[in-house]
């Protein structure tokens, strides 16, 4: 039998609200979750691939807006030469009547909603074994039925499921560890396409999570990907290529500094230098600096952040080393100098609670910054 290829994606989460991010960027992030459907289709078309497997959570909830559903269907309709195999995940499970009724009303011949755990012939000699999610929190391995599902010898067997094969840390977006990591071996699958984990993950040579094609958090860095899966022949290991397709680049950066280094220069070397208008950055700053360097560094962070699509930083782990000369910069004497001295003492007093020391340190940093900003 000749070779065969497909695209594997999952977890588009169309309709995601991004409620924890500023309102002025939410609309762009929401829109790109639909736009990436077009990117997936263009990749398939450009590579001459006729099938896209969508391994669950195409939509973020059981009740997305009709507008989001219809826009998604419209893109699928535009690529009539591509067969879309859509698996209900835990977020858009089979109880999501709003979604699946709308798909049924659209009646697109190239869009297949996989509502039952039973084999489907994708094309001659290629069998798809889907495991749709019945509800939001499945507690049993939805792929167990595949072991006893017979298929003709010498034909392809491809599994499609949504769920965890390992403990992903208890995130509310994952269903939990319920799928056997040996399912591909036990069921004689050429490939098991999984969804639920939002980063691309190779479980073994035949089992992969594609991750979301448009990243939605700093937990999974970089741009979202799709997987191009090529099968040389039934039984042979597939070739799996990860292809970046997401618009937005998510970066979690850590800047550790010390009094002996140029913190501003180190910042410039750390931050991405290209594609800034499509880059989201979360910067964590730690270490110790002198007060002058702290003022310079925080101003440089503010200036740099303006160039990015979204930029946030946390300097809670950045300590400041004050000397007597630094206190003189605040005031050489009087009540202001005494206040600065008391704050410095409290910031270094091990008998105080950490929160109280942090408050004193922040107050001293603020006082130093205010004095530095005052006109001569």
Instruction: Please give the chain's pLDDT, 376 residues, in tens.
Output: 567 999 999 999 999 999 888 888 999 999 999 999 999 999 999 999 999 999 999 999 999 999 999 999 999 999 999 999 999 999 999 999 999 999 999 999 999 999 999 999 999 999 999 999 987 777 788 999 999 887 777 799 999 999 998 655 545 455 555 899 999 999 999 999 999 999 999 999 999 999 999 999 999 999 999 999 999 999 999 999 999 999 999 999 999 999 888 999 999 999 998 899 999 999 999 998 888 888 889 999 999 999 999 999 999 898 887 766 666 666 666 777 777 677 777 777 778 887 877 777 777 777 766 766 544 4
Same domain, 274 and 365: yes
What is d(CA 4, CA 230) in angstroms, rounded to the nearest whole number? Answer: 6
Same domain, 187 and 311: no
Read off the pTM: 0.85
Same domain, 122 and 26: yes
CATH of the domain at 126: 3.60.21.10
Same domain, 20 and 131: yes
Same domain, 340 and 366: yes
Length of the chain: 376
Domain range for 273 = 249-373
Token digits of residue 67: 């507008």
Same domain, 99 and 182: yes
Same domain, 54 and 181: yes
Domain count, the chain: 2
Domain end point (choices 219, 244, 269): 244
Same domain, 141 and 19: yes
Domain end point (choices 194, 228, 244): 244
Q: Give the single-character DSSP code of 324.
A: H
Same domain, 103 and 218: yes
β-partners of residue 353 are: none
Same domain, 211 and 312: no
Which conformational region is residue 296 in: left (phi greater than 0), alpha (psi within -120 to 50 degrees), or beta? alpha
Same domain, 229 and 322: no
């Amino acid at each position: 039998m000749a070779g065969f290829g497909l695209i594997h994606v999952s977890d588009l989460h169309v309709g995601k609200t991004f409620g924890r991010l500023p309102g002025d960027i939410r609309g762009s992030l929401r829109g790109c979750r639909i736009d990436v459907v077009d990117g997936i289709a263009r990749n398939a078309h450009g590579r001459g691939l006729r099938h896209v497997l969508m391994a669950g959570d195409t939509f973020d909830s059981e009740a997305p807006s009709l507008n989001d559903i219809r826009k998604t269907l419209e893109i699928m309709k535009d690529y009539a030469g591509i067969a879309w195999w859509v698996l209900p995940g835990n977020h858009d499970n089979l109880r999501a009547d709003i979604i699946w009724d709308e798909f049924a009303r659209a009646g697109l011949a190239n869009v297949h909603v996989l509502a039952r755990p039973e084999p489907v012939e994708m094309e001659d000699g290629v069998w798809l074994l889907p495991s749709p999610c019945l509800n939001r929190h499945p507690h049993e391995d939805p792929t167990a039925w595949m072991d006893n599902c017979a298929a003709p010898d010498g034909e392809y067997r491809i599994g499609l499921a949504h769920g965890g094969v390992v403990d992903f840390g208890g995130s509310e977006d994952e269903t939990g560890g319920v799928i056997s990591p040996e399912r591909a071996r036990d069921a004689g699958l050429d490939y098991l396409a999984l969804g639920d984990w939002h980063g691309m993950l190779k479980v073994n040579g035949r089992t992969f999570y594609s991750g979301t094609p448009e990243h939605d958090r700093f937990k999974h860095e970089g741009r979202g990907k799709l997987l191009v899966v090529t099968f040389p022949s039934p039984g042979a290991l597939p070739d799996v290529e990860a292809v970046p397709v997401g618009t937005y680049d998510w970066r979690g950066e850590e800047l550790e500094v010390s009094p002996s280094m140029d913190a501003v220069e180190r910042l410039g070397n750390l931050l991405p230098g290209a594609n800034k208008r499509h880059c989201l950055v979360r910067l964590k700053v730690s270490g110790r600096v002198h007060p002058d360097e702290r003022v310079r560094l925080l101003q440089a962070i503010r200036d740099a952040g303006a160039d990015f699509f979204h930029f946030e930083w946390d300097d809670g782990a950045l300590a400041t080393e004050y000397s007597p000369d630094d206190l003189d910069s605040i005031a050489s004497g009087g009540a202001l100098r005494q206040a600065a001295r008391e704050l410095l003492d409290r910031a270094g007093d091990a008998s105080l609670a950490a929160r109280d020391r942090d408050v004193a340190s922040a107050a001293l940093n603020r006082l130093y910054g205010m004095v530095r900003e005052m006109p001569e």
